[in-house]
Amino acid sequence: MHVYEWFQMEGKIAVITGGGRGLGAQMAEGLAEAGADIVLCSRKVENCEAVAERLEEEHGIRTLALSCDVTDEESVMEAVKETYETFGKIDVLINNSGATWGAPALEMPKEAFQKVMDVNVTGTFLMSKEVAKIMKKQQYGKIINLASVAGFGGADPKLMDTIGYNTSKGAVMTFTKDLAVKLANDNIQVNALAPGFFPTKMSEGLLSQNGDFILGRTPMKRFGREGELKGATLLLSSKASDYMTGEILTVDGGMHATC
């Protein structure tokens, strides 16, 4: 095949959780530009509907916006069922829904820690479990989990005083590797993206307080820009990554390279 064919996504169905804003919307746009039909789901379905409408108008693709709480198994099952009934297959799942909570480690409320773990880890498990059942029947699929540079190890509290978030992203990395091994014989590739610091609604508080400190530890001396996750997302969603599984692809301006 010509190299462009390895990256084309026409006829593919991609599901993105938390796709109504931030990095999820950015990744959805990248796949839409490559020709994929897009399913966006989150608890705030109105955000997904707005993004879906824009993608249809700008790229001429098919879209579906669904309400889904990734921590609720019945909600997940219903969203996956509706997607399958609408499109007849699922080629790509991006587990992007996420939560965070900032507090000193010894003051972190149990309820806050559990909420972060439920969304970031349990939600990723539940979505992957349901979608992988369809992918196994197809004998093809791509699962992309959203990890973070925060998941590689301990973080200076001046940088990120978010022990629940950091713990959850480390768990997502191990989950990615283990699920990749479990599904390898079914031609399902499971990988993760580990973004560094991109300005989003979730990160705006952290960046406003600790932005200079973060930039001082980032070799490229800037935050991630709009669109800079599109290429990595397309790689892991397309045939170009058919021999990649269990990998953590880091997009962080070089921050992790200094560790």
Q: Known catalytic residues?
A: 165
Q: Output phi, psi for 209, to 5 deg.
A: -85, -40
| The pLDDT value given to residue 170 | 98
Q: Per residue in 91-108, pLDDT tens?
A: 999 999 999 999 999 999
Question: Global pTM?
Answer: 0.95
Q: For residue 5, what are its two tokens?
A: 């064919």
Q: Per residue in 191-209, pLDDT tens?
A: 999 998 888 777 777 777 7
Q: Per residue in 54-74, pLDDT tens?
A: 999 999 999 999 999 999 999
Q: In sequence order, which ranges of the chain are alpha helices (DSSP H)? A: 3-7, 22-33, 45-59, 73-87, 110-117, 123-138, 163-183, 204-216, 230-237
Q: Are 48 and 22 within 8 A, CB to CB?
A: no
3-250 has which fold?
Rossmann fold (3.40.50)
| The pLDDT value given to residue 117 | 98
How many residues are there in the chain?
A: 259
Enclosing H/E stretch for 146: strand 141-146
* Domain residue ranges in the chain: 3-250
What is the three-class DSSP state of 8? coil
